[in-house]
A and B are shown apart, each in its own frame.
Chain A
Amino acid sequence: RKEVEQDPGPFNVPEGATVAFNCTYSNSASQSFFWYRQDCRKEPKLLMSVYSSGNEDGRFTAQLNRASQYISLLIRDSKLSDSATYLCVVLWGNTPLVFGKGTRLSVIA
C-alpha cells in the first residue's frame, strides 16, 4: 500500500461548482498534514495545513479523520484559477514530507 494515496483525477468541474478531494495515508503515527497546490510546470506551494478540528480558509476547507486515516479538501465556488494539481502531504516524526501523486483539477468556464 502506498504511503499516501490520492485519486489522480482529472476532476473537470464548471465554474461555481463545489469539489472535494480525498487522500488516504497508511502510517497511523502521522502527525502533520498539508495540502499543496502545484500549477502546471511550476513548483508546489503550500495551500493550507490540516488541523485535527478541521479548518477553513476562504473557499477552502480541510478536514482530518484520524480514525479512517484520510484527509479531505473541499473547494467551494470553484474559479478558473483553481485549476491545478492538489498534492496531499503527510509528515510523521522527524521524517521528510511524503507527497501523494496529486489530484488534477480543471475548472471549466
Chain B
Amino acid sequence: ETGVTQSPTHLIKTRGQQVTLRCSSQSGHNTVSWYQQALGQGPQFIFQYYREEENGRGNFPPRFSGLQFPNYSSELNVNALELDDSALYLCASSFDRAPPSSGANVLTFGAGSRLTVL
C-alpha cells in the first residue's frame, strides 16, 4: 500500500508568479484535502476534493484553486503569489467524505511541499 506522495518537496517562487503542487493519494482513498501550514502555526484547511468535485473550502481567496483527477490524484494551484503564501502545503487523503471519528477514516498526510515566496 503506497502512502500519500507530494511534489515538489521544495520550491522557491517570486511574488506574482503562479505555482502548481501535486499530490497522489494513498491507494484506496478517493478524497483529498489540502492544508496550508505557516511557520509556527497549525495546518489550515484550504479545500477538499471528492470524486473530482470540490467538497468544502476554507477561508482562502479564489487565487487558490484545485483539481482532482479520475485516479484521485490532485493539484493545488496558487496564482499571483504573495509573500504570506510561504508555507508548508500538506495534502491528506482519506476514504470517502466521511469525517474521521474515533480513529476511523484517519487522514493520512503527505510529507508536504515547502513553498518560499521571495
A→B interface (CB under 8 Å): 4, 8, 31-32, 34, 41-46, 48-49, 51, 87, 91, 93-102
Select one of A31, A32, A43, A94 contacting B109, CB under 8 A.
Answer: A43
For A41, the chain B residues whose CB sits under 8 A away are 88, 114
Chain B proximity of A18: nearest CB distance (Å):
24
On whether the beta carbons of B101 and A43 are closer than 8 Å, the reply is no
Segment from B13-21, B38-46, B65-73 that makes contact with A: B38-46
Q: Which of B58, B88, B102, B111 is the most central at the interface, judged by chain A CB atoms within 10 Å of its CB?
A: B102
For A45, the chain B residues whose CB sits under 8 A away are 109
Select one of A44, A51, A96, A101 contacting B102, CB under 8 A.
Answer: A51
On whether the beta carbons of A96 and B42 are closer than 8 Å, the reply is no
- B8 in the interface, Cβ–Cβ < 8 Å? no
Q: Please report which residues of chain B, range 78-108, place their CB below 8 angstroms from some CB of chain A when the two chains form the complex.
A: 88, 90, 97, 99-103, 106-107
On whether the beta carbons of B90 and A101 are closer than 8 Å, the reply is no
For A99, the chain B residues whose CB sits under 8 A away are 35, 42-44
- B28 in the interface, Cβ–Cβ < 8 Å? no
On whether the beta carbons of A96 and B33 are closer than 8 Å, the reply is yes
On whether the beta carbons of A87 and B109 are closer than 8 Å, the reply is no
Instruction: Compute how far the CA of A46 lies from the CA of B97 in the bound complex, rounded to whole angstroms.
Output: 18
Q: From known contacts A43-B90, A44-B90, A44-B109, infer whether A49 and B103 are also in contact, taking CB-CB under 8 Å.
A: yes
Instruction: Compute how far the CA of A93 lies from the CA of B99 in the bound complex, rounded to whole angstroms.
Output: 8
Q: Which of A43, A91, A101 is the most central at the interface, judged by chain B CB atoms within 10 Å of its CB?
A: A43
Instruction: Compute how far the CA of A97 lies from the CA of B56 in the bound complex, rounded to whole angstroms.
Output: 12
On whether the beta carbons of A97 and B102 are closer than 8 Å, the reply is no
Instruction: Compute how far the CA of A44 lies from the CA of B111 in the bound complex, rounded to whole angstroms.
Output: 8
